[in-house]
Structure 1
Amino acid sequence: MADLPTYEGGCACGAVRYKVIDRPVRTHACHCRWCQRETGSAFAINSMYETDNVKTTSETKPEVVEVPTATGQIQWITRCPRCKIAIWSQYALHAGKAVRIIRAGTFDNPDLFPPEHHIYTSTMQPWLILDESTPQAEEFYDRARFWSQRSLDRLEKALQRAEEPQGGQ
């Protein structure tokens, strides 16, 4: 098996750095009101990774902030303790702690992974015009319909690993 590619990124001040293994499971642009509020922008670009494929490489450890979401479920936002830039999130509703949603703008090269899908377009800014060749969903998307088999398999394996007992539990 060939070595998988790695990509690096970090916060604005450079205190928190990370490395990811492989390309994202999926990258989407989220237009929900919560992502608009959290980013101060029209949408967030999120790259999904298996939690065990994301490694913090800096001595400075990120902080985790728990916030609600539009569904009422919990979201854990991982931020730099100095500059407070959000680096990734984990959502209780969508795969829980098995998956980390990397803020694509924090990659050293944020151009690498353009959105493969636009979600929550029902609340996108009315002045925004999307490329019609990129799939869109008014709410969340149907994974079975839009994801590749490889992406579905990666998510399933991540969910299985997350259910395994940890450290003698």
Structure 2
Amino acid sequence: MNKEYSGGCRCGAVRYTLQGEPFKAGLCHCTECRKETGSAFLYYADWLPSQILVSGDYATYEGRSFCPKCGSTLFHLGDKQAEIAVGSLDEAPAALMPLREGWIKRREPWLVAVVGAGQFREDTDV
């Protein structure tokens, strides 16, 4: 049986379900991701677009989607991937270990590298 993940926004107006496992998981320390999350980095995981089902109305700004009611960061839906903000999942996904870190030149000096994860000074697709 395929693994299923579910998640959504803080107020419950937007919900999503993911079928199967992601093909990539990581952390991004770039300026845009920091501003999007209001944190030091974005923890994300990527599924194929065919693996996500979304219900509810969400807003999108420059490709980044969020709940227009509560403001929760949710996902980036593209033609090749559905990038999910892992913090929006209902259950803490301990098994989704970040395997890459992008924009480490902007990683806070008090954060240590994720052991075993690829380290990319800037773009994570290098």
Instruction: Give 2:57's aligned residue.
Output: 61
Instruction: Give 1:134's aligned residue.
Output: 117
In structure 2, runs of 5+ residues without a counterpart are: none
1:107 equivalent in alignment to 2:89: yes
Counterparts of 2:64 and 2:11 in 1: how far apart (Å)?
17
Larger CA Rg, structure 1 vs 2:
1
Counterparts of 1:122 and 1:54 in 2: how far apart (Å)?
32
- TM-score normalised by structure 2 residue count: 0.88
Write 1 or 2 for the structure with the bigger share of helix.
1
Report the Cα offset of residue 110 of structure 1: 2.7
Structure with bigger RCO (C-alpha 8 Å, 6+ apart): 2
The alignment's C-alpha RMSD in Å is 1.7
1:29 equivalent in alignment to 2:23: no
Instruction: Give 1:165's aligned residue.
Output: none
Write 1 or 2 for the structure with the bigger share of strand.
2
- Kindly provide the CA deviation profile for residues 91-140 of structure 1, in whole angstroms up to 9, marking residues without a partner as x: xxxxx422111000011113341211111101111221223432211123
Does the C-alpha gap of structure 1 residues 129 and 6 become closer, same or farther in structure 2, counting only changes over 3 Å?
Answer: same
- TM-score normalised by structure 1 residue count: 0.67
Does the C-alpha gap of structure 1 residues 83 and 89 become closer, same or farther in structure 2, counting only changes over 3 Å?
Answer: same
Misfit runs of 4+, over 4 Å: none
Counterparts of 2:45 and 2:5 in 1: how far apart (Å)?
12
Q: Which of the numbers 84, 98, 101 marks the counterpart of 2:71?
A: 84
In structure 1, runs of 5+ residues without a counterpart are: 67-75, 91-95, 144-169
Counterparts of 1:39 and 1:133 in 2: how far apart (Å)?
24
Counterparts of 1:142 and 1:36 in 2: how far apart (Å)?
18
